Structure 1
Amino acid sequence: MDINRIPIEIRILGVLMEKQMTTPDYYPMSLNALILGCNQKSNRDPVMELSETEVLDALQQLRNDHLVWQVRTAGSRVSKYEHNMKEVAEFSIQETAVLCELMLRGPQTLGELRARCARMFEFHGTAEVEHIIGKLMDPQRGIYVKELPRQPGRKEPRFAHLLGDIDPEEDLLPTDRGESADTSYPEPSGKNRVVPGREQTERLNDIQQRITGLETMVERISKLEKTITALQEEFVAFKRQFE
């Protein structure tokens, strides 16, 4: 399948893939948890500040293209979302981990991928990562990753995903472009809006964990309500036997 997604859609898919592999007990994801995952400051590059409307619009497009499903889990009153990257290709766990990191953090070296993928899959060395990169660059199967031109002064090549339009120049520092370091750039807006700082990371992660915990509690309460209702019905039926 030919896939070419905008940055918000790539971020959503990356977050869903990440959650499935790192905390499967909290997957599929609710809308609130998904928004927090998209906007969190850690493990994200660029950092985004997406609104609920922007995420919902992107989710609708992904659902239209069968890349995301909206599901209802047993005992839950909240709609949740799961990715359907199988629509693109049958990726292995190792391939999914590498793609996920590239989707969430942008171009990276083999060493960076090895270290950052550890929370999803632990590679034993950069050679193993390179092997997986090679499989993701196989023309017969589909090319999902490419090697970027080596930057001046850097020894290791970097790799980027091909699930959407990328511009290698976007990842260069001003000095790498031959510009002065104090060159001003227009602030992105709309779907590509990013937050330059990485502050309040711990606070945001704490809020995300609390919301996830509250959602789990709501599901448990819903199950308890059903159990209580069933017991009440059994009690009424038992009582009628003596009337």
Structure 2
Amino acid sequence: MERTPLDDVEIRVLGALIEKHLATPEYYPLSLNALQNACNQKTSREPVVSYDEDTILDALERLRTKGMALRVSIGGGRVPKHRHALDEKWGLQRSELAILAVLLLRGAQTLGEIRSRTGRMADFGSLDQAQEALDRLARWDGGPLVVRLPRQPGRSENRFAHALDGRAQEGEWADPGQADGAAEQYPLPAVSHPAAAALVSRVEQLETDVAALREELRDMRQALGDFRRQFE
């Protein structure tokens, strides 16, 4: 089943809806104002954007047409609310939704970054659990929802990206060394030697810890900048 690719605004809106559903369910579904703030927030977003209400409303309409978003009324309230529909459309589990949210909001990520940055949305007890969820998304009926990107020069890890914008199918992330020009596919090669497997596990844990520390440092810098601006 062929999917209609999403544009950049649809990707940001959908990612924000999923994130708030999982991370702050008490404030979900979202009003238009809350959704605008979620799309334009300056932390945990790559790139940072500044969408106006009309831009977000247009994207919501397109997502509703594609069966990915819904407009709802809560308790007879007059302010319409908005929510995603991926759990119903594709039957995605919480862990799978969390991974998609991070990839939609922050672009391509390593396995360690995915595990650390989904912490508020899903509980991956190990990198293996995160990998299993990625595997399910990569083998999704109707076409992969995520792809593994070719390893970049100087990087020790592969990165993973969502496949909802169609670029993976078009070969924009292709490895020049691959004859068919397609993004690199699953599964990752297994490590069989016990000592090597233990070393890989230790390195992966260190990379996860470093990614988490970088995330905390980035948030602290943003909070400090916001505090300073109050006195300017």
Structure-2-length-normalised TM-score: 0.70
Q: Deviations over 1:145-202 (max 9, x none)?
A: 1011101110110000001144449xxxxxxxxxxxxxxxxxxxxxxxxxxxx99954
| Residue aligning to 1:220 | none
- Amino acid of the residue matched to residue 84 of structure 2? H
Identity of matched residues, %:
41
| Residue aligning to 1:163 | 164
Q: How far 1:125 sits from its partner (Å)?
A: 1.5
Quick one: structure 1 residues 49 and 36, their matched pair in 2 at CA, closer, same or farther if it must change by over 3 Å? same
Q: Distance in 2 between matches of 1:203 and 1:5?
A: 35
Q: Distance in 2 between matches of 1:18 and 1:152?
A: 31
Work out which structure has the larger RCO, using CA pairs closer than 8 Å and 6 or more positions apart in sequence: 1
CA contact (8 A) 1:94 1:121 kept: yes
Q: Is residue 2:78 matched to residue 1:77?
A: yes
| Residue aligning to 1:128 | 129
Quick one: structure 1 residues 8 and 155, their matched pair in 2 at CA, closer, same or farther if it must change by over 3 Å? same
| Residue aligning to 1:44 | 45
| Residue aligning to 1:151 | 152
Q: Distance in 2 between matches of 1:203 and 1:74?
A: 39
Q: Distance in 2 between matches of 1:32 and 1:204?
A: 23
State the structure with more CA Rg. 1
Q: Distance in 2 between matches of 1:203 and 1:36?
A: 19
Runs of 4+ in structure 1 deviating by more than 6 angstroms, as ranges, are: 203-206
CA contact (8 A) 2:87 2:93 kept: no
Q: Distance in 2 between matches of 1:135 and 1:123?
A: 15
Q: Deviations over 1:76-134 (max 9, x none)?
A: 22111011114541111111111111111010000000100111012112111111111
Q: Distance in 1 between matches of 2:166 and 2:129?
A: 27
Q: Distance in 1 between matches of 2:113 and 2:87?
A: 26
Q: Distance in 2 between matches of 1:83 and 1:7?
A: 16
Q: How far 1:142 sits from its partner (Å)?
A: 3.2
| Residue aligning to 1:5 | 6
Structure-1-length-normalised TM-score: 0.67
Q: How far 1:141 sits from its partner (Å)?
A: 5.8
- Amino acid of the residue matched to residue 111 of structure 1? G
Cα-Cα RMSD: 2.6
CA contact (8 A) 1:29 1:80 kept: yes
CA contact (8 A) 1:40 1:204 kept: no
Q: Distance in 2 between matches of 1:107 and 1:93?
A: 20
Q: Distance in 2 between matches of 1:200 and 1:33?
A: 23
Partner SS state of residue 159, structure 1: strand
| Residue aligning to 1:63 | 64
> Mapping of 1:1-243 within 5 angstroms?
2-86=3-87, 88-138=89-139, 140=141, 142-166=143-167, 167-168=172-173, 201-202=222-223
Partner SS state of residue 70, structure 2: strand
Quick one: structure 1 residues 6 and 74, their matched pair in 2 at CA, closer, same or farther if it must change by over 3 Å? same
CA contact (8 A) 1:40 1:201 kept: no
Q: Distance in 2 between matches of 1:72 and 1:101?
A: 27
CA contact (8 A) 2:13 2:35 kept: yes
Q: Distance in 1 between matches of 2:82 and 2:24?
A: 14
Query: Structure 1: 5+ residue runs without aligned partners?
Result: 170-197, 207-243
